[in-house]
Amino acid sequence: MRHISFLGLWMILSGWGVAVGAYPPDNAAVLYYKAFMVMPKNTVEVMDKISLADINEPNETLKAFLKENGPAIKLIEDASKVEQCDWGDDYSQGFELLVPYLVPVKTGMQLAFLKARTQFWQKDYDGTIETLLNNYRMASHVADGTDVCYMLGSAIEGRTSVLIGEYLGKISANEAQLNRIKFELSELEKRHISQEIILERYIVSINFSSKGLGKQIVSGLVDDTLSKKILEQIKNGDEQFWADNEKYFLERGAEAKSAMQFPYERAIPALQAINNQIKEDANSNPNAMITHILWPAVDKLLNVRVRDRNRVNALRAAVEIYLSKCKAGNLPMSLPAGLPVDLYSGKEFGYEVKAGGFVLRARGKDLINNEIPVYEFKVK
């Protein structure tokens, strides 16, 4: 039997025979899955018990925990730099679609935030920002999926924006780093997934011709009068019943996608009107019953998108204000021209210089939470 020498093996792997795939691969999901595989078994359990908000200064135990998870974190960071991410989801499976990556993605996000917190306390502000910018790209990879994935991606993006806002004050005099953040935030805007696309994916995932749909719906019903009424309709429903329900569902879906394109102050009331109409119709119109069960809270889904994008707009505006200060030596007395606008109103942000920093205020109200968002920034 012939044996291959180490030199021969190296020659083969280095391209003298069989070609070796380039790193990183062109699909980020490959690296994310690999990261999930190399995570220590107790990582998910440990991260679920850690409250990042309660961490003042990471102790030696947390530092050791981060070191143990170093290989997984490195893979996640490498994955975030890859443009394309295909998780291999088959949306035609509808409610039966499995998304096993959601829990480890959440854990990976928590690890990244823990690393950023540690870097911050070590006064490695450049490293802190780098870690958080990686999280933005990770959020984009996750959000481009089902409605549940979108919500997790939004949570990652939202938390990242909050932390970047807190840390900006520490690098407010670093013009090069500010310009890098400016670029990354503009790129993030290009990667944002529209809520219309997420809603469309949800709509097409509902297969009304599937014999299993009725069984899935029944298993999710609660014990109330309306559910019992719907149960009877499902048991006795013929092909026409399902066809009519599908028609009603698609009509409401088209209305919702159209409403999502309105300015925020018009879109939310329009979506809420659709929600209320479906609920009212379900009491008297058999064609609305299935939609009443399957319909997502479209007003709240849109509100999540506007909340996250508006926070990013506030960050982009803040970076321009910091850059203006770098050049002039003082904060501007009024907002520079051409800044991103407040999405709640479609107008420029309110701006106020305060001791130790400045404040940007939305000029419109968050109609779901009944509040006017305020974004505070410090100056070093």
247-283 pLDDT per residue, tens? 999 999 999 999 999 999 999 999 999 999 999 998 8
Cα 359 from Cα 353, distance rounded (Å): 6
pLDDT at residue 45, as a whole number: 84
Is 3's pLDDT higher than 70? no
**Start-end of H helices in 69-209:** 70-80, 102-121, 125-143, 147-168, 175-191, 195-205
pLDDT at residue 218, as a whole number: 58
What is the rounded average pLDDT of the residues 102-127?
A: 87
Considering 25-29, 58-62, 280-284, 290-294, the range whose residues carry the highest mean pLDDT is 25-29
pTM, full prediction: 0.81
132, 308, 329 from 296: Cα distances, Å: 31, 19, 50
Confidence of residue 52 (pLDDT cuts 50, 70, 90): low
Report the amino acid identity of residue 351.
Y
pLDDT digits (tens, 9 = 90+) for 207-263: 776 556 666 665 555 555 556 666 777 777 788 888 899 899 999 999 999 999 999
pLDDT at residue 359, as a whole number: 97
Is 59's pLDDT higher than 80? no
- Backbone φ, ψ for residue 281 (5° rounding): -65, -30
Confidence of residue 2 (pLDDT cuts 50, 70, 90): very low
pLDDT at residue 81, as a whole number: 92
pLDDT at residue 349, as a whole number: 97
Reduced to 3 states, what is the DSSP secondary structure of residue 109?
helix
Cα 73 from Cα 43, distance rounded (Å): 12
The residue ranking higher by pLDDT, 15 or 185, is: 185
Mean pLDDT of the chain: 84
